[in-house]
Each structure stands twice: as structure tokens, then as C-alpha cells.
Amino acid sequence: MTLEHQLADLHPLLLRFARAQLRHDSLAEDVVSETLLALLEKPEGFEGRSSLRTYATGILKFKIIDVLRARGREVPLEPLDEQSMDEALDALFQADGHWKDPPAAWQEPDRALEQAQFFETLQACVDRLPPRLGRIFLMREWLEMETAAICAELDITPNHCGVMLYRARMSLRECLDLNWFGETR
Amino acid sequence: MNERSGALLRLKCQEVSRLLSSGQDETLPPADRARLRLHLVMCRACRTVSDQFDFIRRAMRQLDHERPPEGTPL
């Protein structure tokens, strides 16, 4: 398969990642185009080192970080729409702080990591997060940025950052529990 | 440690879930770490959530890895 064909296959995936992170269609298309261009111009960069997909995603991540940095504080974060999520989180606990319905262990989670379908579910759960939470969560867990850098990018306090990551993790936990692991119980 | 009452050290599950998340992002202060460890020893549900947070991190780091299409024998 030619490089062009391989890149054409990768294109939808790269676009989906970029859209999820940037929440902006034309910016997402821009960073994906730049990534593809970089690969077409310097195909020797990845040869023998890693798979094209891993290499392309690596480049894309850097492009996304550049965009996030450049737009930094210019683009206001979306208004808070997380109140209902807060209520849902509170509803998991009794008034005395104990679990209402104690979480059950997931069966053979490592097997899920071998299944493409699991990652589709994971992606769907991430996509379902409120936009701000989704963006911060992806900065932390996908772009693997340090929280101090995320706080600085978004101009929020470390505490606020921590609260948002907490909400995102709890929500994802719940989503995977319902949509993937619950079915295997 | 001077406190003799376990109650002073005891965390609620809701606080623990928040600390578990913080622990994914930063090194917790020693006092929090100690209280968290104590709670995890005693609480299966929170141990489960701790494992699940770790799993979510591992899964996210593999989100863009290549994997065989469905139906391919492992």
C-alpha cells in the first residue's frame, strides 16, 4: 500500500482526535492537514521506528498543543454546563459520604484493551463529556500534559483543574461501567 | 503520629474518590497519603475505584495504538 493510501486510511481517525480535542472543525482540519503534509514531506521520519499510526498521532499531538497554546486564553471556555454532572456525582454518595451503590470490580479489564470495540466505547464516553471537561481530560490523559501546564493554558486555578479532572474521571468510570463492563457481569 | 483516635484519620468514600483523582495528577501530601492508604485497606469499593482510575489512564494512553481488526485471532 502506498503512503498516500495508508494516510488516507488514517485520516478519519486523526480528524476525530483533533476534533475531540480542539472542538473546532476548521482548526481540526488544519492540524490534520499539517500532520499529513509533514508525513508526506518527510516519510523517512518514521521508517523502522514505529507504526505510521503511532508516528502520525505523535505529530498530531504536537500540532494540537501548538494550537492550544496559540489560542490560549483568547477563546473563552464554554459556560459552565456541569451542574447536572455535579448533581449526578453527588447522587452516587449517601449523605454520610459512603457509596450508595458500591462500585463493583470490572472483570478482566486487560482483555478489553485488546478489543477495538472497547476503544470505540471509550471514545464515545469521552465524546459525551461536557466540552470543557472533555478538553481538559484529553489534555491530561491523551496529550499527557502536566496539570500545572493545563492550568496555565486555560488560566484556571489548580483546584478548579483538579475538580474538573475528578468529574471527568468519575463520569468516564460510570460510562464504561454502564456501557462496557456492566454487560460482562 | 499523636492522634489516638482512628476517627480523626478516617476519610469518607466521597473524599477518597476525590483524593484518588488528585493522586493521578500530583503527589499527595504525606498526611493525605496515609489516610488514603488506611481507607483503601478497609474499603473494597474504593480499592475498586482506585484500580479503575488506573485502568482508565492505561486505556487512554493506548487510545491511538494500532490494534488488529475485530475477529482477528490474538
Tell which residue, A32, A105, A82, has the closest CA to residue B43.
Answer: A105
CATH number at residue A166: 1.10.10.10
Tell me if A150 is assigned to some domain: yes
Tell me which residues of chain A, numbers 34 to 73, contact chain B at a CB-CB cutoff of 8 Å.
51, 53-54, 57
A178 and A156 within one domain: yes
Q: In the predicted model, what is the mean pLDDT of chain A? A: 83
**A71, A94, A129 - which closes a domain:** A71
Q: How many whole angstroms separate alpha carbon A93 and alpha carbon B50?
A: 16
Whether the predicted pLDDT of B4 surpasses 60: no
User: What are the residue boundaries of the structural domains of chain B, listed by start?
Assistant: 8-61
- 3-state secondary structure (DSSP) of residue A129: coil
Q: Residue A127: which pLDDT band, with cuts at 50, 70 and 90?
A: confident
Nearest CA in chain B to A166: B21
Give the distance from residue B3's alpha carbon to the nearest chain A alpha carbon, in angstroms. 22
| pLDDT 10s digits, B23-45 | 999 999 999 999 999 999 989 99
Indicate if A57 and A104 belong to the same structural domain.
no
Q: Is the pLDDT of residue A103 over 90?
A: yes
In a domain, A77, yes or no: no
Domain span at A27: 3-71
A177 and A100 share one domain? yes
Number of domains forming the structure of chain A:
2
User: ipTM higher than 0.90?
Assistant: no
Q: What is the pLDDT of residues A23-72, one digit of tens each?
A: 788 889 999 999 998 888 887 777 665 678 888 888 898 888 788 777 65
Tell how many helices (H) and how many strands (E) occur in chain B: 4, 0
Q: Are A24 and A113 within one domain?
A: no
C-alpha cell at A103: 462500585
CB contacts, 8 Å: B55 with chain A:
106, 109
- CA–CA gap between residue A122 and residue A134 (Å, rounded): 12
End position of a domain, from candidates A50, A71, A92: A71
DSSP 8-state class, residue B55 = H
Report CB contact under 8 Å: A119, B63: yes
